[in-house]
Structure 1
């Protein structure tokens, strides 16, 4: 089925980009249930399934996620990169009538198996919190780096080619024509569903666990939204080769450990906590690694974030002798 999203000129001016940790958790749980996932996530799913099997609300999650997805599970982020807890608060505060209507539309007769909306929201929010902590949070640093890199790429596309250039790069199924955004589905060819943005604009969100599909909210409460496959997902779960046995002897154990950790952007306090050393010691070692061209540092306000350079990555990826 194709989805037509109608956007006025004012709504085109409100097109924005965001990331949703809550949506990644929902879609990740769905993939671990064996629904809607892709082979690219196989290694993560293999680790996640035994953990998910112990979840007390697994039957409820199955009911909600194994078929069409109720839109209330995907509140549209109000900022570019909201905290998971912020989005979860929005989920808990969902209008009960909206929740009931969405469950009926997505689940049909099975909606009668669910508890009332107030109890449902509380149980689902608690279950998703546990799933996020156990399944997503340990990998969120790498996931966030992939998602933010995608946002940067789309921002450049917007600057270079305007909204038309931005839409042209999202996905082969997404077509922009004369003020109307069309997302071509792969099921029920010929059917068309129209979505009105209602004056609230459109939010575009890259997704790791939605990959490689495009997901559209058919019944938005505020801004219309599209979740599209983030670029770079294919590399997300790749495990680096063992570092050279002699690297620690050359650089020292702490500096070698710093390089190993900096495959994702991390702050000085993050590194200190992971390595069990003081922030001052981390700063000293980072200075040496920076001077050798192995680490780069960017600063936003008073926060410094560090990442391996290509040279540093090549060094850590050398096979053992």
Structure 2
């Protein structure tokens, strides 16, 4: 395993999983997409709403930092210093209380002894001006985005319910493998997209904080360098319901298996006792073969599916864990 690029979780059923409906991580994802050129799949009308609300002078001052492709950014600037924050007011208060000189020292210390990346030069040249511009940008962007965040409240609540159900029923393997995120989960290990020397290689006693983001269809962020927690931000399922794009109506899902795995993977798991091929699954579920193949790989990675080769055919079967999970969650979930 590449140092700085993986985090070992160990036995996933022993992981202390928490969930945070955190406005800061969603807003920072929006800022990275709109002003940093980092694609998080923010719907174009939302991008226009935020872009029009922010003064160009603030974008010119902090845009290079938002466009940074380095593996690290101070938690205060990423708006995730307090992982349990549920209101943007407290996060804006933290920015207002931040000492510009100390922030500049933190950035310089992290990059030392290597040359400072050019996107951080405005902060070190004039810390007070940089931080003031960033506060203005965050405030203006949140004022514009707050109504969209409120529209996502039901989706976020549903995701909290889904994570809670997975945690108490032994379904975290399947849930983690199915997150829409650049971070990939397989066999008790999180695979990170960017290597960074400050990443901690083992979860240890840290909680895993899941942070669903109502920002974009491909939104993904994480923090693996903190001693108090490992956090993972990912696109909340069902975002298309409030962003004008069609798709599954997660609010209509009433059975526990679909709530934990999603409707497609739940359907696959239910049909595995019949030992189908991938093509047969795709035909029965009315999905593309490529889609069925992708979801089967994720179920296999989570230890819920196994393969049996018979000549030229590959038959799919539920693993012992997959069978147990399907039976455990066969009853309808309680209404949300």
Please indicate, yes or no, whether the TM-score normalized by the shorter chain is above 0.5.
Answer: yes
Matched residue, 1:3: 5
1:70 aligns with 2:73: yes
Deviates more, 1:221-230 or 1:83-92: 83-92
Superposed CA deviations along residues 209-246 of structure 1, whole A, max 9, x for unmatched, are: 25314322253353121111110112222299xxxxxx
Matched residue, 1:286: none
Distance in 2 (alpha carbons) for counterparts of 1:141 and 1:64: 28
Distance in 2 (alpha carbons) for counterparts of 1:234 and 1:106: 42
| Residues 159/12 of structure 1: CA separation in 2 closer, same or farther (3 Å cut) | closer
Deviates more, 1:56-65 or 1:115-124: 115-124
Superposed CA deviations along residues 115-158 of structure 1, whole A, max 9, x for unmatched, are: 4545544442332122211x211222112332222222222222
Distance in 2 (alpha carbons) for counterparts of 1:198 and 1:109: 35
Distance in 2 (alpha carbons) for counterparts of 1:215 and 1:77: 15
Distance in 1 (alpha carbons) for counterparts of 2:155 and 2:214: 8
| Contact persistence 1:22–1:88 (CA under 8 A) | no
**Displacement of 1:207:** 1.2
Matched residue, 1:145: 154
**Displacement of 1:84:** 0.6
1:177 aligns with 2:179: no
Structure 2 residue matching 1:33: 3-state secondary structure: helix
| Contact persistence 1:11–1:201 (CA under 8 A) | no
| TM-score normalised by L of structure 2 | 0.57
Superposed CA deviations along residues 10-51 of structure 1, whole A, max 9, x for unmatched, are: 995432111221222222123222622355601212333232
| Contact persistence 2:49–2:145 (CA under 8 A) | no
| Contact persistence 1:211–1:228 (CA under 8 A) | no
Matched residue, 1:85: 89
Superposed CA deviations along residues 147-176 of structure 1, whole A, max 9, x for unmatched, are: 222222222222222543442332475214
Matched residue, 2:39: 37
Distance in 1 (alpha carbons) for counterparts of 2:228 and 2:127: 20
Map 1:86-165 to 2 at 5 A.
86-91=90-95, 92-93=97-98, 96=103, 97-101=105-109, 108-114=117-123, 115-117=125-127, 120-133=130-143, 135-165=144-174
| Contact persistence 2:25–2:233 (CA under 8 A) | no
Q: Where do 5+ consecutive residues of structure 1 fail to align?
A: 241-321
| TM-score normalised by L of structure 1 | 0.59
| Residues 198/124 of structure 1: CA separation in 2 closer, same or farther (3 Å cut) | farther
RMSD of aligned residue pairs (Cα, Å): 3.7
Q: Where do 5+ consecutive residues of structure 2 fail to align?
A: 247-336
Deviates more, 1:154-163 or 1:167-176: 167-176
1:219 aligns with 2:225: yes
**Displacement of 1:93:** 3.9
- Size of the aligned set, in residue pairs, is 231
Match of 1:195 among 194, 200, 205: 200
| Contact persistence 1:207–1:230 (CA under 8 A) | yes
